[in-house]
Amino acid sequence: MKNHPTHKDSVAILGYGVEGKALHEYLQKKGVEDITIIDEHIRDNSISNDISDLDKYDFVYRSPGIHKDRKELLKAKKKGVHVSSTTQLFFDHCPCPIIGVTGTKGKGTTSSLLYEILKESGRDAYLGGNIGESPLHFLDNLTSHSIVVLELSSFQLHDITKSPHIAIVLNTTSDHLDYHNDVEEYRSAKEGIVRYQKERDLCILNDDYPYKNRYKALTKAAVCLVSRNHHVDHGAYINDTKIILVDHGKEHPLCSTHAVGLIGPHNLENIMPASVTCYHLGITLKTIKKVVQTFTGLPHRLECIKTVNGVSYYNDSFSTTPETCIAAVKSFENPLILIAGGSDKHADFSSLGTVIAETKNLKSAILMGETAPQIQKAIGSSTKSVIVDSYQQAFDLAHKKAQKGDTVLLSPASASFDMFRNYKHRGNTFRKWVESL
């Protein structure tokens, strides 16, 4: 079966967000004329809202936010329609090696760090996927000598039939249970990143998480392990305060954990696989070390906005799960005021509640949004928490409570859709308020 539409084919694009728009532009450049855009949430005369009759098209491409098992898609597929995704289209036609990064959290940071090391080494590198830019934007620029880093979510991996040449699987806990039926489906969705790898490929797993055995059993690729807790024979580990790369038993010290640019011990889980990947690609330890020590992360991920009157303000708006909030809280030793809460993704806040209650340097948790009552309940009898009516009230109260030497941390542990367009809108609002102090 052909895997690319021609000018004679009819195509439906489901979802007109970043991926849908990129696909529309790409297909038009390729001379495809019969394109129908379908988005149930956009009211525009040029866009259809009807997803019911997909079997009349030759090709149907779903955007990541549309579940692969929607009955309309399954019906079309049964009728012989070529049902695919923008991610699959890219994999089918990419002429160069792909590094794919997935995990519950950390994939954006790891992907960006990888990209920066590759660029520093002089490689013709490209960054895309879930991190913002659709890879279809640069597909025609690629040659066999290029290399692509893709941040891949469960939405993008759900129905993929090819795997990256280098697959990095970070911590995999639970997320997006408002999209996936359950945790098992969420984890299964990510398996595409290794399922179709070949023997000449590479798979990098975190040995500290039990999921590793699941992915090991699925891949045919060589496996490297990383660990914050113990020695590994091939990959990377933390030895006291040093990051050590290991090449089949031969150790190569990279740098001190205190010298890295990223804040928080959890970020070592992002630094190690990125470093192992680049070392595997022949990049020098000197280059890897230089970037690891200067890369300070992405906006809205433990981003220091500024210090005002001795109080430091950190924007971690990208934290949409309890696990990422826990990691953020554990990144600071000085007195801490936490702003948390937002829209509900059906997460379990029990571990976060325990951490908030037991973290001695956490002075106060100011809670807002739909999840505030759940988080407060998880904290239990602690007097540390208070619920406020709005984001503005939360910020104002944190500013009022903060004393010289304190840190005010926005790490919501929840999605943003009850109050904001997305996590960036929430984080930028926080930045605006801090910068006005």
In a domain, residue 140? The reply is yes
203: left (phi over 0), alpha (psi -120 to 50) or beta: beta
DSSP letter string over 86-139? HHHHHHHH--S-EEEEE-SSSHHHHHHHHHHHHHHTT--EEEEETTSS-GGGTG
What are 127's strand-pairing partners? 149
Retrieve residue 375's tokens.
């988080």
Per the listing, tokens 């090709």 go with 59
Domain boundary among 88, 106, 133: 88
62, 37 Cβ separation under 8 angstroms: no
If asked whether residues 375 and 358 sit together in one domain, one would say: yes
Q: What is the DSSP string of 391-426?
A: HHHHHHHHHHH--TT-EEEE--SSBSTTTSSSHHHH
Q: Name residues whose C-beta falls within 8 Å of residue 256's C-beta, 6 or more positions apart in sequence.
A: 241, 242, 243
Same domain membership, residue 372 and residue 324: yes
The pLDDT assigned to 154 comes to 80
pLDDT at 418: 85
Specify whether 400 is located in the same domain as 334: yes
Residue 259 lies in a domain: yes
Domain containing residue 28: CATH number = 3.40.50.720
Are both 257 and 372 inside the same structural domain?
Answer: no
Q: Domains in the chain: how many in total?
A: 3
Instruction: Give me the pLDDT at residue 182, please.
Output: 54
* pLDDT value at residue 183: 63
Looking at the structure, do residues 188 and 141 belong to the same domain, yes or no?
yes
Within-domain flag for 416: yes
Q: How much is the pLDDT for 178?
A: 47
pLDDT the model gives residue 423 = 94
Please tell me whether residue 237 adopts helix, strand or coil conformation: strand
Q: Which of 264, 294, 324 is the last residue in one of the domains? A: 294
By DSSP bridging, strand 98-102 and strand 125-129 are unpaired
Write down which residue in 238, 266, 294 finishes a domain.
294
The string of pLDDT tens digits covering residues 112-155 is: 999 999 999 999 999 999 886 899 999 999 999 999 999 998 88
Same domain? 380 vs 259: no
Same structural domain for residues 128 and 59?
no
CATH number at residue 394: 3.90.190.20
Do 166 and 259 lie in a common domain? yes
Q: Give the separation between CA 101 and CA 85, rounded to whole angstroms.
A: 18
Domain range for residue 45? 10-88
Q: What is the pLDDT along the chain (437 residues), one digit of tens a residue?
A: 578 999 999 999 999 998 999 999 999 999 999 999 999 989 999 999 999 999 999 999 998 888 888 999 999 999 999 999 999 999 999 999 999 999 878 899 999 999 999 999 999 999 999 886 899 999 999 999 999 999 998 888 888 999 999 999 998 655 444 444 556 666 677 899 999 999 999 999 999 998 889 999 999 999 999 999 999 999 999 999 999 999 989 999 999 999 999 999 999 999 999 999 999 999 999 999 999 999 999 899 999 999 999 999 999 999 999 999 999 999 999 999 999 999 998 899 999 999 999 999 999 999 999 999 999 999 997 789 999 999 999 999 999 999 999 999 999 999 998 899 999 999 999 999 999 99
State residue 177's pLDDT score.
42
168 domain residue, yes or no: yes
